[in-house]
Amino acid sequence: MARLIIKTEKGPFELKPSEKPVKVCMCGLSKNQPFCDGSHNATLDEKDDELYEYDKKGKRIEMSEEEEGGCCGGGCCGGKDEGHKH
């Protein structure tokens, strides 16, 4: 089952061990979890009051007005599955 993870951070959390700093991903986009790989750079222009979705490759998916209005993303909006209840 798919999982929606809400992340609000736009940068990594830095641990400072004695030798070399370690950065932990806080945006949820890193392909090297739990460590930061710089993917948070895609989030720097996000607005705090909007919801964003990213695909598996880390590319931002533009949401339609229906989705922004509360569509579950299950393909049932837009008349495709009118009998489906959310």
Cα 4 to Cα 79: distance, rounded to the nearest angstrom = 24
Q: What stretch of H or E contains 24? A: strand 22-24
pLDDT over 90 at 9, yes or no: no
- Residue boundaries of the structural domains of the chain: 1-62
Closest alpha carbon to 28 in 6, 50, 44, 3:
6
- At 30 the pLDDT is 92
The identity of residue 56, as a single letter, is: K
Contact residues for 15 (Cβ-Cβ < 8 A; gap 6+): 21, 22, 23, 24
- pTM equals 0.56
* pLDDT tens digit sequence for 34-80: 999 999 999 999 888 888 888 888 888 877 655 555 555 555 555 44
- At 17 the pLDDT is 73
